[in-house]
Amino acid sequence: MNLPDIMRTFTREAGDYAAKKQSSLIKADIQSKGGDPNNLFTNIDTENNDLAVRMFSPFVAQGGIFIGEESVKDAPTPKITFSSGRDIIVVDPIDGTAPYIRQEASWGVICTYLKAGVPNFSIIYLPAQGKWLEITPTGTTLRIYGDAVPTLSSLPYGAGTAANMSKSIPDLRTLAEANGFTQAYAPSAAEMTVNLATGDIGLIGLPAKVGLWDIGALMQLVSLYGYSAVFEKTPRQQRVLGAGMFKPTWDLADNLLVTSRQSHKSLYAA
């Protein structure tokens, strides 16, 4: 299989497996086994991560970098930015721990490919909602299972918003709301990205600490459409994810999303 098909196969298998196992987190089962829902979740999450390690081993053997959330949590991780120029696969085996444990549908699997350090192909699968989103350098395709034909979606955002990114966070919020953006919250980055791609939301808040595996697909969506009204909710975290003057880089050493006002050339320099 080629890389996109491997990504599709992994995402499908991981999502379907997690959906099947989600019911095992019911209270009666947990009590009968003397277990803890968080421990059971971790087992499922790790199994999906191990599946990814196996499926992407040929990619790694050819010089690619694999970053899975469960692969790096307890190990020192190097600083990886766009400047690495490496091909990278980023996987969040189950995004949305809390809704998953609560038996809700707002969780998913995220798989993103960065070609030479640049987002190239992303997949988000929300099994409990029957939604599958693919993001390519040319656009997004959303399939809602049960539909005969995939729905092509585009973001209804006006051009030129990146020019306003030097404004403060409150000003950016006011500007966005004045132009029809709405604030919304989703329990997982996976659902958040799908909602953004379909135009259901136009202004979202990010937590103070996020990992590349959490919003790799969101990063590509921002790069693709170039909108700027995506910001962190915490006032002291004035980092804005967007295009134009702000370019996202990823530092897995501290698990934070950081931005830079530097030029494209200086940002991508080693």
Beta bridge partners of 184: 204
What are 45-67's pLDDT values in tens digits? 889 999 999 999 999 999 888 88
Question: Tokens for 21?
Answer: 């196992």
Work out the angle between the directed axes of helices 37-55 and 3-22 (0-180°, nearest 10). 160
For residues 47 and 174, which has the higher predicted lDDT (pLDDT)? 47
Which whole number is the average pLDDT over 235-239?
32
Four-way CATH pick for 3-153: 3.50.30.30, 3.40.50.1820, 3.30.540.10, 3.30.420.40: 3.30.540.10
pLDDT band at 14 (very low <50, low <70, confident <90, very high): very high
Q: Write down the pLDDT at residue 9.
A: 97
pLDDT band at 29 (very low <50, low <70, confident <90, very high): low
What are 97-156's pLDDT values in tens digits? 888 888 889 999 999 998 887 778 999 999 999 999 998 887 788 888 655 344 434 333
CB-CB contact of 36 with 30 (8 Å):
yes
Sequence spans of domains, the chain: 3-153, 161-268
Q: Write down the pLDDT at residue 228.
A: 38
Q: Write down the pLDDT at residue 10.
A: 97
CB-CB contact of 241 with 230 (8 Å):
yes
CA 156 to chain centre: 21
Q: Is the pTM of this model over 0.85?
A: no
